[in-house]
Amino acid sequence: MLGAEAVEIWTDVPGMFSANPRQVPDARLLSRLDYAEAQEIATTGAKVLHPRCIHPLREVRVPLLIKDTNRPELPGTAIGWSTVQTAPSVKAISSRKGITLVSMESISMWQQVGFLADVFGAFKAHGLSVDLIGSSETNVTVSLDPSDNLLDSDVLARLCADLEAFCRVKVIAPCAAITMVGRGMRAMLHRLSAVLAEFGALDVHLISQSSNNLNLTFVVDEGLADALIPRLHALLIRAEAMRVDDAAVFGPSWRELAEGAAAAPRPAWWRHRREALLALAASGSPRYAYDLDEVRARARDLRALGAVDRWHYALKANPHPAILQVLHEEGFAFECVSIAEVEHVRRTLPALPPERILFTPNFAPREEYRAGLAAGVRMTLDALHPIVEWGADFADRDILLRVDLGSGRGHHDKVKTGGAQSKFGVALDEIETFREHARRHGARIVGLHAHLGSGILDTGHWRGVYAQIASLAERFNRIEMLDIGGGLGVPSRPDDAALDLAGLDATLAEVRSAYPQFKLWMEPGRYLVAEAGVLLGRVTQVKRKGEVHYVGIDAGMNSLIRPALYEAWHAIVNLTRLDEPPADLVQVVGPICETGDVLGHNRRLPPCREGDVILIAEAGAYGAVMGSRYNLREPAAEVIV
């Protein structure tokens, strides 16, 4: 009525969050919401706003700003008519406790006119407002939210007595309603599989999808909610259903606000080499650019871990000769998966003793094993077949045995290398058979090896592997070393925390103190080279189709296949316009004839023009080496800067 330009609410929290920060310290401040989303979040759990306060503003389109009185510098939450373009995203997950479900079962309900009118009439008569509804041929289940209803056992008893006239009634309580809110929920279902899998293990009483397409709600036993919410919040981020990389919507986390800005991550080297990289791209594009100082620095980080006796570089990640040279200088041995890799190391580093090459073939032909033995490299066998069928080849040889501990880990299912669905390693129940054949042929098992996956950021993983193979090793009589693989991840998404190397060292040292008789080996690839490499491409064309903006670059999936193959997330910037504020939400695509030729979905970049240089980060591992000539386009050439 005042014709106000805006309403500001000054309160004691910084705004609305993607979850209750008391349950989820990583919940993110929601910087911008439209009225309907804010309404939905307020209704389904958030306490910052009373659900009824949004409606009068929405009617006349007055924007609402929530600000923190104690920290006025924080941006707060702006609620208004949606004007900016944002990635489809789950904005928040909330839970309401104290929910009562009333389940009404009637055999005569099918095609019976007026059944719902009768039962809802009973709710109306008792002054009870119904929240969620699920129905089938013979059952209607509804929820009553205590915040809307004055629920006491007398009211409930009277309601049930009335309902008994039409159906059999069951009351299920106490329950919790867990709700995900976001505009266009139905368009995000394909990203929710991990979330649905969590619910799969539980007894879900009711699922309801709001007809305004803004929420999806699960009703479960009340006791489950507290533990579930933080897990689901993390899963939503991981599955890119909650697009926390969209800085226009998601602000800092509660934890960051409480602790002050998180320890600033190491600034990426390429920010200081911008001019050199722009010049490089001007002289030819697309290009992979590598910084060897970065490789050296990561090598030194790892060599500082006292618990590990010997480090190998898994050169499948990036076999560039200059990188092998640096890692050799830094004291690394090498892990190879093919005889071609073995030969490549020997050509690049002729003085390297063969004993410093570890050869771990998988389903390779017999000739490769024979060539490896002839070259005098250390061999790891990962199946019964070689020892059973070609056992004589290994007579009087020292070998390592790769075991499968039964389950894998990794940034994507396709990089998990444990469990029956993965083709690597000897299953635990076949180890005795392997030993018998090794004994019969006079092969000595001097080491156990387990590598269960790639891109792991949780240090507990290696502790578990180490402890398991160490206890296994005690059953053997001449084990000298335990190789607990590679798999050390690097943070890629904005929310990933870096691997805690000091923590890794400490946890490995603990296991080591229990098994001092074994040497500890590791064999990372990615960790050493991922951040040292970037892929540079130039903008070829821009295009718009409806609401979707495309920025095309000359580097496609033939140069970097990881986004297409693993949905891997690589940071992308417009290097030409590094200082300009991000604006448009774009799809960064390549020139390859595949719909999957997308380097980054829904990225926020400054407006891009033909010729701009686009930089794709963390591309030093599994980038160039997985390139192809598909469409007869040469993949990006590699340059050391």
Beta-bridge partner residues of 616:
535, 572
Neighbours of 305 (CB within 10 A): 17
**What gap in Å lies between CA 27 and CA 34, rounded to an integer?**
19
* Nearer Cβ to ligand LLP (15/524): 524
Residue 400 beta carbon to ligand LLP: minimum distance, rounded to whole angstroms? 11
Comparing C-alpha atoms, which of 267, 320, 266, 294 is closest to residue 528? 294
Which range in 33-41, 91-99, 232-240, 517-525 contacts ligand LLP by CB under 6 A?
517-525
Q: Does 360 bind ligand LLP (CB under 6 A)?
A: yes
Comparing C-alpha atoms, which of 27, 28, 11, 29 is closest to residue 66? 11
Of 276-335, binders to ligand LLP (CB under 6 A) are 314, 316-317, 335
* Nearer Cβ to ligand LLP (14/418): 418
Q: Does 526 bind ligand LLP (CB under 6 A)?
A: yes
Q: Is the peptide bond before 286 cis (omega within 30 degrees of 0)?
A: yes
Of 529-568, binders to ligand LLP (CB under 6 A) are 562, 566
- For 124, phi then psi, to 5°, come to -65, -45
Q: Is the peptide bond before 174 cis (omega within 30 degrees of 0)?
A: yes
Q: Are 409 and 461 in contact (CB under 8 A)?
A: yes
Q: Does 448 bind ligand LLP (CB under 6 A)?
A: no
Q: Does 487 bind ligand LLP (CB under 6 A)?
A: yes
Mapping DSSP to helix (H, G, I), strand (E, B) and coil, where does residue 120 land? helix
Q: Are 13 and 38 in contact (CB under 8 A)?
A: no
* Nearer Cβ to ligand LLP (134/455): 455
Of 190-209, binders to ligand LLP (CB under 6 A) are none
**Among 488, 511, 575, 615, which residue sits at the site for ligand LLP (rule: CB under 6 A)?**
488
Q: Which amino acid type is present at position 39?
A: Q
* Nearer Cβ to ligand LLP (15/563): 563
Active site residue 53: no
* Nearer Cβ to ligand LLP (243/526): 526
Q: Does 45 bind ligand LLP (CB under 6 A)?
A: no
Beta-bridge partner residues of 615:
536, 573
Q: Does 27 bind ligand LLP (CB under 6 A)?
A: no
**What gap in Å lies between CA 179 and CA 92, rounded to an integer?**
8
> How many chain residues bind ligand LLP (CB under 6 A)?
22
Of 399-418, binders to ligand LLP (CB under 6 A) are 415, 417
Q: Are 411 and 455 in contact (CB under 8 A)?
A: yes
Encoding tokens for residue 402?
A: 């790769």
Which range in 137-145, 340-348, 469-477, 525-533 contacts ligand LLP by CB under 6 A?
525-533
Q: Does 524 bind ligand LLP (CB under 6 A)?
A: yes
Q: Which residue has 């004993």 as its token pair?
A: 355
Q: Between 592 and 631, how does the x/- string for binding to ligand LLP read (CB under 6 A)?
A: ------------------------------x---------
Among 160, 167, 175, 593, which one carries the catalytic annotation?
593
* Nearer Cβ to ligand LLP (67/461): 461
Q: What b/e string do you get for 72-104 counting C-beta neighbours within 10 Å, with b at 16 or more? A: eebebbbbbeeeebbeebbbbbbbbeebbbbbb
**What gap in Å lies between CA 72 and CA 586, rounded to an integer?**
32
**Among 96, 451, 463, 604, which residue sits at the site for ligand LLP (rule: CB under 6 A)?**
451
Q: What is the DSSP string of 563-584?
A: HHHH-----EEESTTTTSPP-E
Q: Does 525 bind ligand LLP (CB under 6 A)?
A: yes
Residue 470 beta carbon to ligand LLP: minimum distance, rounded to whole angstroms? 18
Residue 176 beta carbon to ligand LLP: minimum distance, rounded to whole angstroms? 37
Q: What is the DSSP string of 392-416?
A: GGGTT-EEEEEEE-S----SSGGGB
**Among 454, 507, 559, 602, which residue sits at the site for ligand LLP (rule: CB under 6 A)?**
454
Residues forming the site for ligand LLP (CB under 6 A): 314, 316-317, 335, 360, 415, 417, 451, 454-455, 485-488, 523-527, 562, 566, 622
Catalytic positions are: 593
